[in-house]
Chains A and B, each alone.
Chain A
Amino acid sequence: MTIAVVSPGAYSRRALALLPLGFLFLLALLPLGRLLLEGWDGVRLELFADDYLQGRLLWSLAQAAITCVLTAVIGVPLAWVLARLAFPGRALLLRLMLLPFVMPTLVAGLGVLTLFGPRGISGLNLQDTPWLLLYGNLFYNLPLVVRASVDGLLALPASRLLAARSLGASPWRAFWRIELPALMPWLSSSLCLVFLYCFSGFGLALLLGGQQWATIEVEIYTLVAYELNLADAGALALAAMLVSATAALFYAALEARMAVPAKTEPLALLKVNTLRRRVLLASALLVLLSITGAPLLALLARAATVEAQTWRLLLNEDTALALFNTLRFSLMALLLASLLGVLHALAARRSTLMRAAAFLPFVVSPVCVAFGLLLLYPGWTASLLLLVSAYALLAYPFIAKSLAAALDALPPNLPAAARTLGATPWRSFWRVSWPWLRPAFRRGLAFAAATTVGEFAVTLFLSRPEWLTLTTLIYQHLGRPGQANLDAALLLSVLLMLFALLAFAAIEWPEKNHAPDR
Chain B
Amino acid sequence: MKPVRILTTVLLAFAACAAHAAELRVLTHSSFSLPKARLAAFEQQSGVKLSLIKGGDAGEMLNKLILTRANPIADVVYGVDNTLLAKASAAGVIAPYSGAALKHKARYALGEGVVSTDYGYVTLNYDKAWFAKNKLALPASLQDLTKPEYAKLLVVQNPSTSSPGYAFMLATIAGMGEAQAFDWWAKLRGNGVKVAKGWSEAYYTDFSRNGGERPLVVSYATSPAAEVFYSKDKISTAPTGNLFLKGGVFRQVEGVALVKGGKEGEAAAKFVEFMRSPEVQAELQTTMWMYPVVEGSTTAPVFAHAAEPGFAAEMAPATIAAKGGAWLKRWNKVVLR
Contacts and interface: CB of A to CB of B under 8 A. Distances in A.
B18 A484 contact: no
B210 interface: yes
B141 interface: no
B64 interface: yes
Given A117-B211, A222-B161, A462 B205 contact: no
B304 interface: no
B30 A487 contact: no
A309 B53 CA distance: 33
B167 to A, nearest CB: 14
A464 B219 contact: no
Interface string A460-492: 101111000000000110111111111100000
Contacts, number: 158
For the side of the interface on A, what is the size category?
35 or more
Given A380-B18, A462-B64, A110 B205 contact: yes
Contacts of A212: 336
Interface string A376-387: 001111111100
Contacts of A383: 17-18
A481 B17 contact: no
Contact of B17 (A118, A128, A375, A385): A385
Contacts of B210: 486
Contacts of B13: 332
Interface residues of B, number: 62
A206 to B, nearest CB: 6
Contacts of A19: 7
B53 A462 contact: yes
Contact of A226 (B59, B219, B229): B59
A227 B331 CA distance: 14
B31 interface: yes
A483 B238 CA distance: 11
Interface of A is mostly: helix
A482 B160 contact: no
B245 interface: no
B158 A228 contact: no
B204 A478 contact: yes
A424 B99 CA distance: 71
B195 A211 contact: yes
B54 A462 contact: yes
B223 to A, nearest CB: 4
B200 A52 contact: no
Given A463-B54, A480-B289, A483-B231, A385 B14 contact: yes
A459 B18 contact: no
Contacts of A384: 14, 17-18
Given A475-B200, A484-B232, A207 B325 contact: no
A290 interface: no
B201 interface: yes
Nearest to A382: B53
A434 to B, nearest CB: 12
Contact of B64 (A114, A221, A371): A371
A464 B226 contact: no
Given A332-B13, A339-B10, A463-B53, A481 B73 contact: no
A336 B3 CA distance: 12
Contacts of B204: 106, 110, 478, 486
A478 B211 CA distance: 14
B127 to A, nearest CB: 12
Interface in B164-201: 194-197, 199-201
B211 A119 contact: yes
A130 to B, nearest CB: 16
Interface in B62-78: 63-64, 66-68, 70-73
Interface string A102-117: 0000100110011001
Contacts of B230: 480-485
A482 B230 CA distance: 5
Given A207-B205, A382-B25, A482 B231 contact: yes
A225 interface: yes
Interface string B201-227: 101110000111100000100010011
A157 interface: no
Interface in B1-41: 2-3, 6-7, 10, 13-15, 17-18, 25, 30-31
Nearest to B17: A384
A129 interface: no
Given A117-B212, A485-B230, A374 B14 contact: no
Interface in A209-240: 210-212, 221-222, 224-228
Contacts of A221: 161
Given A479-B199, A480-B230, A222 B160 contact: yes
Given A118-B212, A382-B53, A459-B56, A479 B68 contact: no
B320 interface: no
A229 to B, nearest CB: 8
A46 interface: no
Nearest to A485: B230
B60 interface: yes
Nearest to B31: A479
Given A388-B14, A481-B230, A378 B200 contact: no
Interface string A479-511: 111111111000000000000000000000000
B337 interface: yes
B141 to A, nearest CB: 25
A310 interface: yes
A206 B197 contact: yes
Contacts of B73: 374, 378, 381-382, 462
- Counting chain A CB atoms within 10 Å of each CB, which of B17, B200, B203 scores highest? B200
A384 to B, nearest CB: 5
Interface string B274-313: 0000000000000001000000000000000000000000
A487 B160 CA distance: 29
A41 interface: no
Contacts of A475: 30, 200
A374 B325 CA distance: 23
A142 B67 CA distance: 38
A109 B205 contact: yes
Contact of A464 (B52, B160, B196): B52
7 contacts: A109-B205, A118-B212, A226-B161, A379-B71, A382-B73, A383-B17, A462-B54
Interface of B: 2-3, 6-7, 10, 13-15, 17-18, 25, 30-31, 51-57, 59-60, 63-64, 66-68, 70-73, 158, 160-161, 194-197, 199-201, 203-205, 210-213, 219, 223, 226-227, 229-232, 240, 289, 325, 328, 336-337
Given A222-B161, A225-B56, A481-B230, 14 more contacts: A113-B212, A118-B212, A125-B213, A211-B336, A225-B63, A227-B325, A339-B3, A339-B7, A343-B3, A381-B73, A463-B54, A464-B52, A482-B226, A487-B232
